[in-house]
Structure 1
Amino acid sequence: MAGNAEVASLEESFRKFAIYGDTKATGQEMNGKNWAKLCKDCKVTDGKSVTSTDVDIVFSKVKGKTARVINYEEFKKALEELAPKRFKDKSKEEAYEAICQLVAGKEPINVGVTKAKTVGAVERLTDTSKYTGSHKERFDESGKGKGKSGRENIVDTSGYVSAYKNAGTYDAKVKNVFCVDEPESIVGSAEEELIHFHVSDWYFSIPKSKLTLSPESLLWKAAPAQGKSDYHKLFTDQHSFVFGHLHFYMQTSRLPFLSSVEFIL
């Protein structure tokens, strides 16, 4: 062959074909079946100049009398035997070079796996899309089993009717709600930009610029001029105001203080 690289490539191809289909093979020896596959996959066998019969005859010729396999050196002799038949218009050396080039760098061609064919009753047993009745309910559209929910009627004890669409949203709405009664003070002055809430251990300071009152009849004004800073409320029944994401709901009377406050965070 032309060089060491091609020699190594030829030896590698021999090893790959030698271990094909045999997990216990070492790659040092090749049986007759794999030799025939090598000749077929590498186009050494062309059906005219070199036939499968020629391949078998050469294999028997180069192997030992009692052996069933050939080693790498015997493999090269087999190629040398087939070279003049495969390339009749070339010299012996050129023919051997050409046949080695057919094999070098090649590896076994894997034949596609035949898919299992299902017909008749077998198909009806394995195709979940064709199931009917209660069996159909045990699988989803992809054919995956639903588990217990596909075998039993699980009672819904959530308390919601089946048509209700907002199940599970109540807790999310009220989990940050708390109420306090009798706020101790709501203080500030007409000049200040903040309104201060003091309820038990809670203190709130709200910028007036961020305060939205609802309804519009709810008014804030400074206390009468006695040096007090309490804010008096002018409303009649119940009102609310919103600050950012906080919603304050007030249940009030005509008295100038709050009887209850609900903070919704």
Structure 2
Amino acid sequence: MYGFKSSAQVKYKPSSESASCRSPHAREKPQVLGLALTIHHDRRNKKLMNLLNAHGYSVSHGRAPLMETALANAVVENTRAHQGLYVPTFLRKGTFVFFAADTTDFAEDTHDGKGTTHGTITTVYQKIDPSKEPDVEPLIIGDAQSLSVTPYHVDILHCDKPNPQHAKWSEQFAISKGISESYQLTHLGWVVASALSRMKAGETSSNIPGWAGYNSLLSESLPLTQVGALPLLSEVAHEWSTLLTVIMQANQLRKLAVGEDHPTVITFDMALYGGAAPRCRT
């Protein structure tokens, strides 16, 4: 793929023997870049990357960090247009968006517990709808000449620990009085098919897929969901100030996507939800 030339390139005759062709970067295809970035992220193996590069499968080891730097700087440039908030480029207006936030740990297996890093990551989910207008322009990825990343900082909003109080829920939950007939028939069909399959094979295993797989085969195809992540917050997730910052970032993105008249939906694990719930209610 690296050595591929179009018919026009093959027929091209340089004006002199000293004339050079285009920069190798102009011939970089998505696959040679994606493979290099994946291996660099997962393995950090210079020898392996240069071996693949020699056979034309990926860019070289030296090129991958430059690409990562260019991507990081493009993300920082995106935040400057939105007062420090990164807006994923797939985000579109008028389509429901929701979030998930959790702690993320690095080097957490050190023998003395020191030298670890604990941060907070927020992911953004939105179903693909090409008919809707995008909220932001695509990232402009330049050609990094060094490994210098533009400084990026998120102001962590101050939040004092609230006084302990018992939650008073006013919502009324409706309890279903029955199971729909279509669900009953679907479930019955799976039970019968699984039993007959095992009887025919004379084994305990069945050729019929499990309940989730069975439903996925019968269900109509749904739009795919785009998933993105906001830049890492270098603060522990269980701090009140961090939780407030996460909630406000999600609130801003929700307003960009669907406006003021929709709720902000964020999922936390139970350890974080205990701290986030009072903030959400207030």
TM (norm. structure 2) is: 0.16
- The TM-score with structure 1 as length reference comes to 0.17
Q: Which has the higher relative contact order, 1 or 2, with Cα contacts under 8 A spaced 6 or more apart?
A: 2
